[in-house]
Amino acid sequence: MFDKIASRYEGTNRILSLGFDRRWRRRAADRLCPRPGALYLDVGCGAGDMCIEILRKAPGCRVVGIDPSEGMLAVGRAKVRAAGVSDAVSLLPGDVLNLQFPDNSFDGAITAFCIRNVTDRLMGLREINRVLRPGGSLVTLELTDPVGLMKPLFRLYSNMVIPLVTKVMSCVSAYRYLTDSMADFPQADRFVTVMQDAGFADAEYFRMTGGIVTIFHGQKPV
Ligand SMILES: C[S@@+](CC[C@H](N)C(=O)[O-])C[C@H]1O[C@@H](n2cnc3c(N)ncnc32)[C@H](O)[C@@H]1O
């Protein structure tokens, strides 16, 4: 599915999120606290925006992005080249359920709008935990069920605006999947428990924009 929408992914997201997606990624990258000289993993890197954001925060670090979609990786590689950061960012085919890296390889890891799509989230989080160095952080940015006033507003938005925009952008089924997968994603408290079960300590979360997105954070114990 992501191969099919790769070329329209960024534009559609920008429109659907009213430009908020950039701010959400920036906040998630802040939470990772990247530092020069360190090595980070971006799981489900897609078109590479988060990799570039991490590098912007900490010039001199290195980022490896993995994604099973060759179409998304191709868009990402072009973007990385255009940003002039090919020496610091590598985008590789990969699956969070079976990461190709040895234990304790990365200083930190991030996933943005990815873990919702993973069939076995506990297994995926365990794999991320395995490849993190002790003390390394995982930051997960994910679309979640809105709270309070945002709940009815978002329902209206997803019933009226999303179908219209996705029709114009010719990706109706992909974005119907988006609202279905949002409904399928566990509540924030429950996802924190899954992070703990996967071996993350001090797991916590921060809602943004009325809970439409949530940043989850946890650490591999030292
Ligand atoms: C909604 S896109 C998000 C892309 C990017 N992280 C961003 O911020 O725009 C979700 C990505 O997760 C990837 N994905 C889905 N299943 C995955 C898996 N098992 N392992 C790694 N990535 C996966 C998809 O191929 C897709 O590129």
pLDDT tens digits for range 127-186: 999 999 999 999 999 999 899 999 899 888 888 787 777 777 666 666 667 777 777 888
CB of 2 shorter than 6 A to ligand 1: yes
Render pLDDT for 92-104 as a digit per residue (tens, 0 to 9): 999 999 999 999 9
Q: Is residue 40 within 8 Å of residue 33, measured between CB atoms?
A: no
Output the pLDDT for position 174: 65
The per-residue pLDDT for 60 is 96
Above 80 in pLDDT, residue 126?
yes
Going across the sheet that includes 106-112, the strands are 89-93, 62-67, 39-43, 106-112, 132-143, 213-219, 201-208
Q: H/E element holding 66? A: strand 62-67
**Which structure tokens are listed for 210?**
């009325």
Residue 46 Cβ contacting ligand 1 at under 6 Å: yes
Q: What is the extent of the structural domain holding 131? A: 2-219
CA of 2 to the centre of ligand 1 (A): 8
Q: DSSP readout, 69-128? A: -HHHHHHHHHHHHHTT-TTTEEEEE--GGG--S-TT-EEEEEEES-GGG-S-HHHHHHHH
- Which residue lies with its CA nearest to atom 25 of ligand 1? 69
Pocket mutation for ligand 1, best pick of 16, 50, 67, 138 (most atoms within 8 Å of C-beta)? 67
pTM for this one?
0.93
- Beta pairing, strands 201-208 & 213-219: antiparallel
Sign of the alpha-carbon torsion through 166, 167, 168, 171: positive
Show the tokens assigned to 13. 């997201």
In this predicted model, what pLDDT tens digit does every residue of 73-123 receive, in sequence order? Answer: 999 999 999 999 999 999 999 999 999 999 999 999 999 999 999 989 999
The confidence score (pLDDT) of residue 160 equals 79
Binding site membership of 175 for ligand 1 (Cβ less than 6 Å): no
Q: Inter-axis angle of helices 150-168 and 172-184, to 10 degrees?
A: 160
pLDDT at 215: 98
- The tally of domains found in the chain comes to 1
Q: What is the pLDDT of residues 7-21, one digit of tens each?
A: 777 777 787 788 899
What distance in Å separates the CA atoms of residue 187 and residue 197, rounded to the nearest whole number? 15
Please give the distance of CA 102 from its chain centroid, rounded to a whole number: 22
CATH number for the domain spanning 172: value is 3.40.50.150
Judging by DSSP bridges, how do beta strands 39-43 and 106-112 pair with one another? Answer: parallel
Name 142's bridge partners. 214
pLDDT digits (tens, 9 = 90+) for 24-63: 999 999 999 999 999 999 999 999 999 999 999 999 999 9
CB-ligand 1 contact for 43 (6 Å cutoff): yes
Maximum distance among all Cα pairs of the chain, rounded to whole angstroms: 50
pLDDT tens track for 182-203: 778 889 999 999 999 999 999 9
